[in-house]
Amino acid sequence: MTSQPAERAPSLAQLLRPDYHADPHLLYRRMRDRGTVIWDPYVHTWIVTGYAEAVTVFQDFLSARTPSAETFGRMGLPMLAPAADVMRRQMMFMDPPRHMRVRAACSALFNPVRVRRLEHRMREICSGLMDRIDHGAAWDLHADYAEPLPAMITTEISGLPLADWRQLQIWSDDFAALIGNFHQSRSEGDRLAASLDAMTAYIADAIAEQRAGEGRGLIGALLAQDGADPLDDAEIIANVIITLVGGLGTITNLISSGTATLTAHPEAMERIRRDPAAMRGAVEEILRYETPSQFSGRIAPADVELGGQRIARGDAVMVMTAAANRDPLVFDDPERFDIARTPNRHLAFAWGPHFCFGAALARMQAGIAFEELLRRAATIELVGGPLEWRENLGLRGLTTLPVVTTLAAA
Ligand code: HEM
């Protein structure tokens, strides 16, 4: 009898395999079967799949983890040195006390009261996008609906010209790829470096223009800071970039993979059509089930024990948020999509000091996008074969979502 070859230890590097790329939960379950905290020998990082352990890491571990210019050089990607400079100024990669200074300056525009004032504008944009749809023929719900809405809203909130939303979306996708993937080729490094250079120059011009004239949105608010330690231009540019990245791709993915999930669960779709009050639970369940931000990195602040493992100070740790959102110790029947799930305290927006301050905006935008879509489309059918997922491993989303819809009676 021949023995089976030993199965390779599960690793984040395997997410590039087509089967795991199509359904990363196949890999996350293999990881969890080995323990809620395991060592990834290929990527040299601890992998956290348990919910309780994820909360501990989000709450207590360090966020300053970006590669330095020298590290990029050693990786054979010296062209990404300017990206290191941008990242170390971004709140997402900062720890106290630096973190709160930047976060407080940027987050004020995104509180729930301010966000509620945008409802009319969101409905207007959705309605305009739906007006252009040729019902009965195939159209791409990802490119023609899920991308423009958040890109237009975030462009406006940032204080940038609405006409530039498509370009901003392309630059943001590139920056998200830069921070979301584990390795880049030299040619991809060149492309991403050029993209960041163009985006940085564009925001610098917008700052100069608003400084000389009238301030608008986030940029205007940051230029008007009158505290003792206002953000300088390099900090404003870096944090407008991370806010754009936060507000663009993630909500797009929530809307398009959410629509795909709802069409695969017609009873859920039917329920939100019948009962608008069910929408809130549906958005939360999509966030849990198809977690747009799949994982987040951290650094151990001290020697600690977590999930039965000894983690040394300075070790890299990757929280697999999407896996924690299906932890059977916290969620009953976690593989089931259930829009009435209560409680549903998923970690899609993380936890603790870096909890996403765009959460209220994201929840409202997704809810309105689904409402307006269902109001205008009596039926939604996916066409065009199996779903195709983007290469960005950290921000999970579709490349396209071809659908045929039928027009609802007015
Ligand atoms: C479905 C939509 C969204 C998801 C799933 C999401 C997810 C997340 C997650 C998981 C984090 C924490 C990352 C970490 O700690 O490593 C985060 C932070 C952040 N998000 Fe979001 N986000 C979304 C929408 C938005 C929006 C609409 C904005 C702003 C317009 C935004 C801006 C940010 C910023 C600036 C941070 C960094 C906060 C900090 O470091 O203190 N996000 N987001």
List the CATH number of the domain containing 241: 1.10.630.10
Output the average pLDDT for the chain.
95
Q: Is residue 1 part of a domain?
A: no
How does residue 182 score in pLDDT terms, banded at 50, 70 and 90? low
Give the distance (Å) from ligand 1 centre to CA of residue 261. Answer: 22
Q: Is residue 4 part of a domain?
A: no
Q: Is residue 243 part of a domain?
A: yes
User: Which residue in the block uniquely carries the two structure tokens 């330095």?
Assistant: 68
Do the strands 316-319 and 296-299 form a parallel or antiparallel pair, or are they unpaired? antiparallel
Give this prediction's pTM: 0.96
Q: Is residue 382 part of a domain?
A: yes
Q: Give the alpha-carbon dihedral of 103, 109, 112, 114, to 10 degrees.
A: 170
Q: What is the pLDDT of residue 6?
A: 57
Weakest mean pLDDT among 139-148, 204-213, 300-309, 385-394: 385-394
Give the distance (Å) from ligand 1 centre to CA of residue 246. Answer: 5
Digit-coded pLDDT (tens) for 281-331? 999 999 999 999 999 999 999 999 999 999 999 999 999 999 999 999 999
Digit-coded pLDDT (tens) for 65-75? 999 999 999 99
Q: Which domain holds residue 242?
A: 12-407
Can you tell me the mean pLDDT for 361-390? 96
Q: Whose CA is nearest to atom 19 of ligand 1?
A: 356
CB of 354 closer than 6 A to ligand 1?
Answer: yes
- Most ligand 1 atoms within 8 A of CB, residue of 165, 179, 356, 392 to mutate: 356
How does residue 1 score in pLDDT terms, banded at 50, 70 and 90? very low
Q: What is the pLDDT of residue 2?
A: 45
CB of 293 closer than 6 A to ligand 1?
Answer: yes
CB of 248 closer than 6 A to ligand 1?
Answer: no
Q: Is residue 95 part of a domain?
A: yes
Q: Is residue 6 part of a domain?
A: no
Tell which residue, 112, 113, 115, 145, has the closest CA to residue 130: 145
Digit-coded pLDDT (tens) for 227-237? 889 999 999 99
Q: Whose CA is nearest to atom 41 of ligand 1?
A: 354
pLDDT > 60? residue 5? no
Q: What is the pLDDT of residue 180?
A: 77
Digit-coded pLDDT (tens) for 152-172? 999 999 999 999 999 999 999
Q: Is residue 365 part of a domain?
A: yes
Q: How many distinct structural domains can be found in the chain?
A: 1
Q: Is residue 5 part of a domain?
A: no
Which atom of ligand 1 lies nearest, measured to the CA of 243? 35
Rounded to whole angstroms, the Cα distance separating 357 from 300 reads 24
